Amino acid sequence: HGGASAVAVTVTWHAESVEVTVVDDGTGPQDGAVSPDSSGLAGLTQQAEMLGGSLWFGQDKATGGGRLRVQIPRKTAV
């Protein structure tokens, strides 16, 4: 949706959780333009919460593009 030309995916293992971060260099979400109830984000959030985790989506400060972060407890991620 954001017209990105590059996307970076990072998976980080923490002591208690696994974190997946996706960052792009597109236009990014504008303040208030992305509803957390939109069907795509709502579905992803629901899946993360079913695993005891969380999801955050917003603008990446470094690139101005989008940043999606999902964090899931390791006990359910492994």
Distance of CA 34 to the CA centre of its chain: 13
**pLDDT classification of 7: cutoffs 50, 70, 90:** very high
The pLDDT value given to residue 29: 80
The pLDDT value given to residue 36: 58
All residues at 6 or more sequence positions from 14 whose CB lies less than 8 Å from its CB, including other chains = 74
Better pLDDT: 2 or 15: 15
**38 part of a folded domain:** yes
Parent domain of 20 = 7-77
Q: For the chain, how many structural domains are there in total?
A: 1
Summarised one tens digit per residue, pLDDT across range 15-71 is 999 999 999 998 888 765 566 566 788 899 999 999 999 999 988 888 889 999 999
* Domain of residue 14, CATH code: 3.30.565.10
Cα–Cα distance for residue pair 53/17, rounded to 1 Å:
9
